[in-house]
A and B are shown apart, each in its own frame.
Chain A
Amino acid sequence: MSFLALVQDTITKDNVMGTPHDGGNFVTELLAKIRPEWLPEWMFILTAVGIAVGFIVAMVSVIAMWSVWMERKVSGHIQCRYGPMYAGGWHGWAQTLADGVKLLLKEDMIPKGADRALFWLAPAIVLAGIFGALAAMPLSYDWYFARMDLGVFTILALGSTTTIGVVMAGWASNSKWSLYGAMREAAQVVAYEIPLGVSLLCPLMTLGTFSLLDASREQATLFGWDCGMGWAVFTNPFNMAAFVIFWIAALAETKRAPFDLPEAESELVAGFLTEYSGIRWSFFFMEEYAAMFLMSVVGAVFFFGGFETPLTALMRAADLEGGVLYNLVCFGTLVLKAFAGVFLMMWLRWTLPRVRIDQVMTMGYKYLTPLALLCVLLTAVWEYVRYLVVG
C-alpha cells in the first residue's frame, strides 16, 4: 500500500461524531499501519511521540516566522511605510529567514552574576509549555494529536506554565531590569488569568463542552439549520461582551502591547529579555507568537465558529464530509480565523499606547473580573430562557 493511499484511507474513515477518546491521533493511526512486526511496543510509542513532537516544533517555527514577517508589514503599513522590501524579492518575504540565520550565528552570552542553570532552563520551560498547549489544538475534524474532552482547559493550564519560565528568566539574569520585568509578568498573569477563564465560561455554557472539536461541531447549526453560521457570538448576545473581555485578558496573558509591561522597551530596556541574546532570545519570541496564535485559535473556536463557515456546511450538504478536501477546508478556515485574530492583536499593538502597571492591575481586578462574572450570570439566564422557549 502506498503512503498516499494510507493517508487517504486514514482520513476518509468514518470517525466523525465518535465519543471522546475513541482513537489515537492521526500520527499513531498512520504509523500503526506501517509498523514492522519486530518493533516492540515502547519503541513504537516513542517513535510516534517523536514524530508528533517534530510536527509541533515545525508548526511553531512556521507560525513564528510568518507572524514576524506579518508584524513587520502590518506595523509598517500602519505607520505609513513599507516594512521589509528587499530580502527574498517579493515584499521582503525572506526577511525572517535572514533574521533566523543572524540569530543562530550571534554570540550567546551569559552575564557574569547570572544563575547559569536557570538562565539556560528558562527558554526551554517557556517553549515546552507552549508546545504542550499546541498539542491540544486540533487541526481539523479528523486531524488531531489528542482527542480530549478537556481541550481548552489543557491549553489554558499548559499555557500558564510559560509564566514560570519568564519569571525564571527575569530572576536568573541578575539584572534589575529583568527582575522588574519578571515581577510585572507574575503580577499581571495572576491578575488576568481570572477574567480570561471566567469570560471563557460564557461560550462554554452556550456550547456545553470543553473540547475544541465538539465546540466547533456545536456551532454548525443556527436554529436547527445546518448553515455553518451558528457561532456562539450569534446565538447569545452576551458572548460578544465576553469576547471583548477575553480578548483584553488574552492580550495581557500573551504580554502583547498595550500590556507588554514585562518587556516595556522604553522603560525597562527589554524587561526580562534584557540579558538574553542570540537563539535563546529568539525562543522567547517564538513562544510569544505561538501564544498569540493559540489564543486566537481559542477565540476563533469558542466564539467564532471554529471550523464552521457556510463553505463547510455546503461541503457537508454535498456529502464530502470526512474526505481530505473537507479536512483541508476545515484546517484552512481555522488558520484564517486565527490569523485574523493575530492581525487584530498587531493592529491593537501599533495603535494603543502602553498602560501603566497600576492601570493594568485596576483594570484586571476592579473592572474585568466583575464584568466577566456579570457576563456569566447573564449568559446563564439567556441560556435558561432559551432552554425554556426552544427546548
Chain B
Amino acid sequence: MSELNRQRLFYTVLAFLAFGSAGKGLLEAGVEGLMFSIFASLTLGGAAVCIWERSVVRSAFALMATFLGVAGFFLILGSDFLAMAQVLIYVGGVLALLLFGVMLTKPDLNERSLPRIGAATALIGGGIAFLVSQMVGVGVKTWAMAETLEEPTTKAHDIGIAFLDPKQYVVAFELAAFLLTVALVAAVYIARRRTEDFTPEEGQV
C-alpha cells in the first residue's frame, strides 16, 4: 500500500470512529453524551495522529486536539478554571514553544517505527472494539452521566480562597511558587552565555 493510501485509510477510519461515537453519545445521553463523545474523539484521535504521523510537526499539531479535548473534559466535569488554565498553558504556551523547537526539522525522514504503529493500531483497534461492542450490545450499554453540566462545582473564587487561606494550602502554594522561581533563575543561569566562553575565532554576535 502506498503512503498516501495508508494515510487516507487511517484518517477515514478515524473519522468513522469519531462520527460513530458522536452518534452513540447523542442517542445514549443527549447533548452531554454528544459533548463527551466529541471530547473523547478529540483526545484519543489527536493522540493516535500524534504517534502515527511521520512528520514531527504534524504530530505536534495533533497534540493541540488532545490538549483541547482534555480541556473539554475539565469543562464537562464542572471545573472551568482548570479547563481554561489547560488551554492557556498547554495550547498557548507549551505547544507554541514545542512548535518553535520542531518547526525547522526536515519532514518525512524517519520510517514509521514498529512501536509507533503498534500503539496507533492499539488505539484505533480499541476504538473499533468499543464501538462494535456498543452496537451489538456487549458490555456497558447505558452511559451514566453526571446530573448537570450547568453549575461549575469549583469556582475560581473558591480556588483563590483555598490557596491563600493559612488553614488550607498557602504553604504548598508558596512552596510551588518558590520552586518555579528557582527553576526560572537556574534556567537563565544555564542558558546565559559567559563572556569568557567566546574566542575571537568563533565569531561575535
Q: Quick check: is B150 within 8 A (CB to CB) of the other chain?
A: yes
Which of B64, B80, B92, B97 has most chain A Cβ within 10 Å? Answer: B92
Choose among B26, B34, B96 the residue that contacts A164 (Cβ–Cβ < 8 A): B96
| Total chain B interface residues with beta-carbon distance under 8 A | 31
A42 at the interface (CB under 8 A from B): yes
B80 and A150 contact, CB distance less than 8 A: yes
Task: Specify which chain A residues have a CB less than 8 angstroms from the CB of B97 in the assembled complex.
Answer: 186, 190
User: Which residues from chain A contact B104 at a C-beta distance below 8 Å?
Assistant: 179, 183
**CB closest residue in chain B, given A158:** B87
Q: Are A153 and B84 in contact (CB under 8 A)?
A: yes
CB pair B64 A164 closer than 8 Å: yes
Q: Are B96 and A163 in contact (CB under 8 A)?
A: yes
B-chain residues with CB within 8 Å of residue A186 when the two chains form the complex: 96-97, 99-100, 103
Point out which of A164, A168, A193 has the most chain B C-beta atoms below 10 A from its C-beta.
Answer: A164
Contact of B150 with A21 in the complex, beta carbons under 8 Å? yes
Chain B residue contacts of A210, Cβ below 8 A: 156
Q: Are A150 and B84 in contact (CB under 8 A)?
A: yes
Is B126 an interface residue, CB under 8 A from the partner?
A: no
A164 touches B91 (CB 8 A): yes
User: For the complex, is A187 an interface residue (Cβ under 8 Å from B)?
Assistant: yes
Contact residues, B6-44 vs A (CB, 8 A): 26, 30-31, 34
Q: Min CB distance, A137 to chain B, in Å?
A: 15
Residue of B nearest to A165 (CB): B64
Contact check, A45 vs B31: say whether CB atoms are below 8 A apart: yes
Contact B103 A193 (CB under 8 A): no
Nearest neighbor of A115 in chain B, beta-carbon distance: B58
Bound-state CA distance A346–B88 (Å) is: 27
A189 close to chain B: CB less than 8 A: yes
Residues in A neighbouring B93, C-beta threshold 8 A: 160, 190, 193
Return B21 CB to nearest CB of chain A, in Å: 16
Q: Give the chain B neighbours of A148 by CB distance below 8 A.
A: 80
A319 interface contact, C-beta 8 A = no
Q: Is B92's CB under 8 angstroms from A193's CB? A: yes
A-chain residues with CB within 8 Å of residue B152 when the two chains form the complex: 21
Distance of A274 Cα from B131 Cα, bound (Å): 43
Say if the beta carbon of B76 comes within 8 Å of chain A.
Answer: no
A145 within 8 A of B: no
Q: A118 at the A/B interface (Cβ < 8 Å)?
A: yes
Residue among B30, B64, B81, B88 with max Cβ neighbours from chain A (10 Å): B88
Q: Are A190 and B87 touching (Cβ within 8 A)?
A: no
Closest to B188 in A: A365
Bound-state CA distance A46–B92 (Å) is: 28
Please pick, from B34, B64, B88, B103, the residue contacting A157 in the complex, using a CB distance under 8 A. Answer: B88
**Cβ-closest chain A residue relative to B57:** A171
Q: Is the CB of A183 within 8 A of B88?
A: no
B156 touches A150 (CB 8 A): yes
Report the minimum CB–CB distance from A124 to chain B (whole Å): 12
Instruction: List, in ascending order, chain B residues with CB within 8 A of A189's CB.
Output: 92, 96
Q: Which of B34, B92, B103 contacts A160 (CB 8 A)?
A: B92
Within the complex, the shortest CB–CB distance from B17 to chain A, in Å, comes to 18
| A160 neighbours in B (Cβ, 8 Å) | 87-88, 91-93, 96
Cα A267 to Cα B128 in complex, Å, equals: 50
Given contacts A149-B156, A154-B84, contact A187 B100 (CB under 8 A): yes
A190–B91 touching, CB < 8 Å: no
The answer to whether the Cβ of B155 comes within 8 Å of any Cβ in the partner chain is yes
Binary contact readout B182-201 vs A (1 if CB under 8 angstroms, 0 otherwise)? 00000000000000000000
Q: Are B81 and A161 in contact (CB under 8 A)?
A: no
- Residues of A that sit less than 8 Å from B by CB: 20-21, 41-42, 45-46, 115, 118, 125, 148-150, 153-154, 156-158, 160-161, 163-164, 167-168, 171, 179, 182-183, 186-187, 189-190, 193, 210
Ordered by A's residue number, 22 sampled pairs between the chains whose C-beta atoms are within 8 Å are A21-B150, A21-B152, A41-B30, A42-B34, A118-B61, A148-B80, A149-B155, A150-B80, A150-B156, A153-B81, A157-B84, A158-B87, A160-B88, A160-B93, A160-B96, A161-B92, A164-B61, A164-B95, A168-B61, A171-B57, A189-B96, A210-B156
